[in-house]
């Protein structure tokens, strides 16, 4: 079964949520974009074979190293992205998450809802390119 990256769906939805409901969060828009780009970095064939860790945990470690050690991002930004990648599929019923992680949870849920409503869920889960993404009325 292939993996689906929600990048095309998460960025517009996340931007809309930030603009309409949390305008004070606009300062972390860049961190949100980085998280969208890197959230499935652990799912590449090379990375899946490199460790016994789950792709979320290994992806978080890779992102932290990439952002802080290789690109010179602030440690707080790298850690925020790494934690969100690690927890991006963990909706959990107890505990707390950062605002960024909560935003990623929301847009992932909205993205899956969109895929089911437009009839694209089977394509998404197959790992094949989309042939029928359309706007919903």
Residue 134 lies in a domain: no
- pLDDT per position as a tens digit, 75-103: 999 999 999 999 887 777 788 888 888 88
Residue 5 has pLDDT above 70, yes or no: no
Supply the CATH number for residue 58's domain: 1.10.3210
Distance separating alpha carbons of residues 126 and 103, to the nearest angstrom:
26
Domain count within the chain: 1
Residue 25 lies in a domain: yes
Residue 58 lies in a domain: yes
- pTM (whole model) above 0.85: no
More confidently predicted of 77 and 7: 77
**Structural domain of 65:** 7-126
Distance separating alpha carbons of residues 15 and 37, to the nearest angstrom:
14
Residue 50 lies in a domain: yes
């Amino acid at each position: 079964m292939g993996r689906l990256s929600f990048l095309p769906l998460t960025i517009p939805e996340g931007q809309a949520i930030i603009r309409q409901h949390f305008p004070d969060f606009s300062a972390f828009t860049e961190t949100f974009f980085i998280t969208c780009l890197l959230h499935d970095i652990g799912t590449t064939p090379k990375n899946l074979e490199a460790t016994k860790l789950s792709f979320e945990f290994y992806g978080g470690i890779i992102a932290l190293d990439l952002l802080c050690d290789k690109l010179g991002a602030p440690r707080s930004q790298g850690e925020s992205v790494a934690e969100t990648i690690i927890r991006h599929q963990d909706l959990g019923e107890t505990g707390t998450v950062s605002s960024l992680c909560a935003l990623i949870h929301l847009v992932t849920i909205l993205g899956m809802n969109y895929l089911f409503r437009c009839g694209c869920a089977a394509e998404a889960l197959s790992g094949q390119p989309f042939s029928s993404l359309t706007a919903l009325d």
